[in-house]
């Protein structure tokens, strides 16, 4: 069945945007069935870094997809680390630099089985955006101790598949996902083979969800919301090896993580391929 799904895959996936991201809130539980990118398993997950801080000019929260996602230079992070390393910079400037945070996130397509908060999300394809806690749970199911019980089942829409049950609790001032887990195999109500094929075929384009700014655009954010000036010359310079700033528009379709050695959070492309092939044995 899975080979027929792949051969029937539509050439272009649907457009996608922020509105397609499943919003998870403290106190709620969500059950989703993860969806693979059957045409290109390496794009089943979109792994990225975001940078954010509260603007020192306007008080609004500023965030963007860091070019470090694509192996490119990030002027804000360069400024942050330069300030923190420079003993001559004031404590106030160091405090500001320390407030600029980089976080690691992933996107994956999912079929929403249960949303205890917004029932209208159920029976839809949505995007799950998650951090390191859920990543650990998913990686354990793919290539850890849980892989014998789960493995390809986490991508299977049939009765052989397993839901990811996302439980959002509160730990101090922050949400925690540590109680989330994959369930035992269970059929998704209302899905037949035809509907499953349609769902697989309509997975959203994960690379089109988040806007990607150029180096110059991020440099402007740095000047306006960190240094509180729009004057390029008055902001602290961010120099390249040749002595001048470089404008980079990263290719969002490139994979940032190239080898296992590049990151402890690597998702093995070959392993995902193997899991997708394993769906044929389950169905």
- Residues 82-116: pLDDT tens digits? 999 999 999 999 999 999 999 999 999 999 999 99
Question: Cα(147)–Cα(109) distance, rounded to whole angstroms?
Answer: 20
Count other C-beta atoms under 10 Å from residue 29's C-beta: 16
Query: What does the pLDDT average to over 127-152?
Result: 96
Q: Six-digit token pair at 73?
A: 């230079």
* pLDDT value for 231: 62
Q: Six-digit token pair at 138?
A: 């998913």
Bridge partners of 30, per DSSP, are 115, 166
Q: Which helix (H) or strand (E) holds 136?
A: helix 132-143
Bridge partners of 49, per DSSP, are 104
- Residues 21-65: pLDDT tens digits? 999 999 999 999 999 998 888 899 999 999 999 999 999 999 999
What letter would DSSP give residue 126? E
Given a contact cutoff of 8 angstroms between Cβ atoms, the answer to whether 132 and 104 are in contact is yes
Average pLDDT of the residues of the chain = 83
Strand-pair category, 164-167 with 61-65: unpaired
Question: Cα(148)–Cα(142) distance, rounded to whole angstroms?
Answer: 9
> According to the CATH classification, is domain 2-282 in 3.90.198.10?
yes
With a cut of 50, say whether residue 259 has pLDDT above it: no
114 vs 263, higher pLDDT: 114
């Amino acid at each position: 069945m899975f080979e027929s799904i792949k051969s029937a895959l539509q050439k272009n996936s649907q457009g996608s945007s922020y509105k397609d991201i499943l919003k998870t809130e403290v106190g709620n539980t969500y059950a989703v069935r993860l969806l693979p990118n059957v045409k290109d398993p390496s794009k089943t997950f979109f792994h990225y870094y975001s940078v954010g801080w509260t603007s020192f000019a306007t008080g609004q929260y500023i965030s963007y997809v860091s070019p470090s996602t694509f192996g490119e230079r990030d002027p804000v992070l360069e400024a942050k680390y330069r300030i923190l390393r420079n003993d001559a910079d004031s404590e106030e400037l160091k405090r500001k630099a320390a407030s600029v945070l980089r976080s690691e996130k992933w996107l994956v397509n999912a079929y929403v089985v249960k949303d205890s908060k917004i029932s209208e999300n159920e029976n839809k394809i949505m995007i799950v955006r998650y951090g390191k806690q859920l990543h650990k749970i998913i990686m354990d199911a793919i290539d850890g101790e849980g892989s014998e019980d789960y493995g390809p089942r986490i991508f299977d829409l049939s009765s052989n598949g397993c839901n990811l049950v996302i439980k959002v609790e509160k730990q101090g001032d922050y949400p925690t996902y540590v109680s989330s887990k994959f369930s035992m195999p269970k059929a998704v109500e209302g899905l037949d083979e035809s509907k499953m094929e349609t769902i697989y075929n309509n997975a959203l384009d994960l690379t089109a969800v988040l806007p990607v700014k150029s180096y110059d655009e991020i440099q402007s954010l740095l000047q306006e919301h960190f240094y509180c000036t729009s004057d390029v010359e008055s902001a602290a310079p961010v120099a390249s090896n040749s002595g001048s700033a470089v404008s980079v528009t990263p290719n969002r379709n490139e994979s940032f993580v190239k080898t296992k050695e590049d990151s402890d959070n690597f998702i093995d492309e070959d392993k995902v391929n193997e899991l997708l092939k394993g769906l044929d044995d389950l169905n």
